[in-house]
Amino acid sequence: MVIAIVIIGGGTILFKNGNNGKEIITVTRENITQEVSVTGKTKAQNEVELGFDTNGRVARVFAVVGDKVSRGQIIAELDTVELLANLAKEKAVLAEEEEKLGEEGERIELSLREVYAVDLRKGIKFWYHQIIRN
């Protein structure tokens, strides 16, 4: 008797929807949005320290936060007015020092000529006396 009740109950559930117990669902395309709210700190996957070889003011910026950049790409440029002024000043100092060095070199060359001339005279006198004595 228990078996009959189970079979009758199972048949009722199986044929309840008229589709042999299967549910029919219509599928439609829709956008699914899931919002997530979290707190904390974010960290970049790749991080690079940037810097210039010299101090100065940034004159132009060629990239902004979030831009993709590649190795060797110029992303900022320093103001060169002050750098060019310093370069001109240092070139003037260098030219002045080179001029002083040239003058000192001429003095040394003249002194060496005088020393060689004296040594040459001494050598000539020495050999002259050696030849006359023999």
- % of residues, the chain, pLDDT over 90: 10
**pLDDT, average across residues 32-39:** 82
Q: For 21, which DSSP code?
A: T
Rounded distance, CA 51 to CA 100, Å? 38
58 neighbors 76 (Cβ within 8 angstroms): yes
Does residue 35 have a pLDDT over 60?
A: yes
74 neighbors 53 (Cβ within 8 angstroms): no
| Amino acid at position 73, single letter | Q
115 neighbors 109 (Cβ within 8 angstroms): no
3-state secondary structure of 130: helix
- pLDDT value of residue 21: 63
Q: What are phi and psi of 78, to 5 degrees?
A: -85, 155
